[in-house]
Structure formats: C-alpha cells, structure tokens
Amino acid sequence: MGTYILRRLLLVPVTLFILSFGTAMVIRLTPGDVVDYRLQNSYTPERADALREQLGLNKGPFEAYFSWMSNAFQGDFGSSFVSSKPVVDEVKRRFPVTIELVVLTVLVQAFVAIPLGAIAAVRQNGLSDHSIRIMSVLVLAVPSFVVAVFALKFPPIWWGWLPPLGYVPFQEDPLRNMQVYSIPVIVGALGLMATLIRLTRTEMLEVLRQDYVRTARSKGLQQVTVVRRHALRNALIPVITVLGLSFGGALGGVVIIEQIFSLPGLGLYALNAVQQQDYLVVQTFVVFSGFMFVMVNLVVDLVYAWLNPRIRYS
C-alpha cells in the first residue's frame, strides 16, 4: 500500500508538468496577445512594445515557460497581465467561492439521490420505482443552463420574488450567503443527480439479493433496519467512489453555473483569463485544478480500499 501511494504521488509532478507545459504552448498559439486587450484605444506600436517588455512577453515561449516554472517552485506564480495582481492571491480569494459551491452541490446531490435510489430499489417495479426513474431520466435531459434561466427569470414573474444575487462570503453574512448559493446549488445538483440515483438503485438491487440480506430478514429484523444497516451500507461503497470522482470533476465543471449566477469563483476567473490571454493565470489555474483533481482521486481510491477490504492496490 505504501509503495502504491508513493508511486501515485511521484506521478503527480509529471502530470502537472505535462499539463502546464502543454497549456502554456497551446495558449501562446492564439493570434494576438494581452497587449491588444490592455491598450485598446491608446494603441501605438511603441507603447505595445514597451508593455510587452514590461510583462516579459518578448521572451520566447520556452524561455517564458521555464522562467515561470522556476519561480513557481519558489511559490511565485507570477502576476496577472490584466490586473497586475499576484495570481496566487487571486486564487486564494476565489477558491473558497468555488469550493463552497462544489461541496454544497455534492452534498445536496448525495442527500437527495441516495435515498431516492434506495427507495426505487426496495420498491423495484413499484409505483415509486417507476416515478423516480422517469423523473431522473427527464431531469437528465434538461440542460442545466435551461433550468438556470428558468430559476432566474420565472420566480420574479410568478411570485414577485427575486433570487438574491451578488456573492457575500459566509463569514460575513451566513444567511445571505446561503440564500445566494441556494439556487446555483440546486441547479447544479439536479444535473448530476440522475446518474447517482441510477447507480444507487443498481447497487442496491444487487445487494438486496445477497445471502446476508436474506439472513438478516429471516432472523426477523425490521425492513427499515435491513435496508439501512445491512443493504445500504454495502451498496454505498461504489456510490461514494463515484461521488468522490464527481467532486474532482465538479471542481472545474462549475464554469457554467458561476457564469450564469455571476459567482466570482475560479471557473469564471479561468474563463476570463483564457479569453484575455492572461497566460500566467491560465498556467497557474491548470496546475492548481490539476493538483486538486489528482489528490481528490487518490483520496477517493484510498477511501475505497479502506471501505472495501477486498480491494488491494499493488
């Protein structure tokens, strides 16, 4: 186990290098650079050259990348070309916005989808099973941006209630913060829920056929106890894995939600940086989100092995 973890950890720098190097080279292929964006009206060739010199844009792509990398090893990821602020500070400021969105979305998704999946399995082919399955198929088909437009536009018309917008940090005003997050979280969770419901149902169906469930029933335990203590616990092992992996994916996949609800998170930051060709911001974002993704996946794999002792990594 120790060597397995060590080998996975040794691959992390390799992955991050390929990732940041590839991104740095690809984004420099874009026609034009950030200078056009910054100078817009006051553009003269002399000013452009001076600004390029100042931002270090006159270096070749390799030179630029490796000087950024050697600074990054010392914790200096450079500054944004647009705002001139250090990228690390901006990431630190925006990370809580995104992580709160992701954690809340995954939690809501889990707390709704797992019970629904379990009920569907226990009542297999019954009315609740069919309605839960139909509902999850329908929900999966409606794009989250359509749901988001609905959630933003129709409540004011129907009930004269405007969903609160404008991000407030949790430590400043917890209630307001929760109100701002409520709709984005529900919209995000809806999109991911269907897969989890289906997975929980399939796993539960399999577990409910096992001998130990029959044993538990035959010794006279109540249905609720059998389902909760004996079946669900075992069925949840793969479900938790998938939930963990979706957590890693959701970290970067919240771009759309952040954009629609104008939450100042990492996804929006990266989206703008790509469009403004803010090279160092893009490179740092890639390293940061790649690192998070790899570590979350490693933890998920280890938790899986811990929950299911039959799994042995080598």
Partner 1 sequence: MTESAALATGAEDPAALVARPGIWQRLGKTARSQPVGVFGLFLTLVVVVIVIFGPYLATHEPDAETTNLLASPSGEHWFGTDLKGRDYFSRTLAGGRITVTIAVVSLALGTAAGTLIGMVSAYVRFLDLLLQRLIDAILALPGLFLILLFITVFGKEVQILIYVLALSVTPPLVRIARAATLSTLTNPYVEAAEVVGASWLRILLRHVLPNIAPTVGTIFAVGVGNLMLVTGALGFLGLGVQPPQSEWGQMIANSRQYVASASHLFIYPAIGLALAVLGVNLLGDSLRDLWDPRLRGTT
Which residues in this chain contact partner 1 in the complex, by CB under 8 A?
Answer: 11, 14-16, 18-19, 22-23, 26-27, 29-30, 137-138, 140-146, 149, 153-154, 157, 205, 249, 251-253, 255-256, 259, 267, 270-271, 274-275, 277, 282, 285-286, 289-290, 293-294
Quickly list H helices, 211-278.
211-218, 223-225, 233-253, 255-260, 266-276
- Could you tell me the smallest distance in angstroms from the CB atom of residue 29 to partner 1? 5
Compute the distance between CA of residue 295 and CA of residue 283 in angstroms, rounded to an integer.
18
User: For partner 1, which is the closer residue by CB, 168 or 253?
Assistant: 253
Q: What is the rounded CA–CA span in Å between residue 259 and residue 272?
A: 10
Shortest distance, CB of residue 233 to partner 1, whole angstroms?
A: 22
- Cβ closest to partner 1, residue 234 vs residue 277: 277
Using the minimum distance from each CB to partner 1, give the nearer residue, 67 or 275.
275
Residue 268 C-beta: closest distance to partner 1, Å = 11
**Backbone φ, ψ for residue 20 (5° rounding):** -75, -40
Q: How far apart are CA 104 and CA 299, in angstroms?
A: 19
Q: Which is nearer to partner 1, 14 or 224 (CB)?
A: 14
Enumerate the β-bridge partners of residue 79: 86
Asked if residue 103 lies in contact with residue 250, where contact means CB atoms within 8 angstroms, the answer is no
Q: How far is the CB of 172 from partner 1 (least distance, A)?
A: 28
Task: Please identify, using beta-carbon distances, which residue of 255 and 303 lies nearer to partner 1.
Answer: 255
To partner 1, the closest distance from the beta carbon of 18 in angstroms equals 4
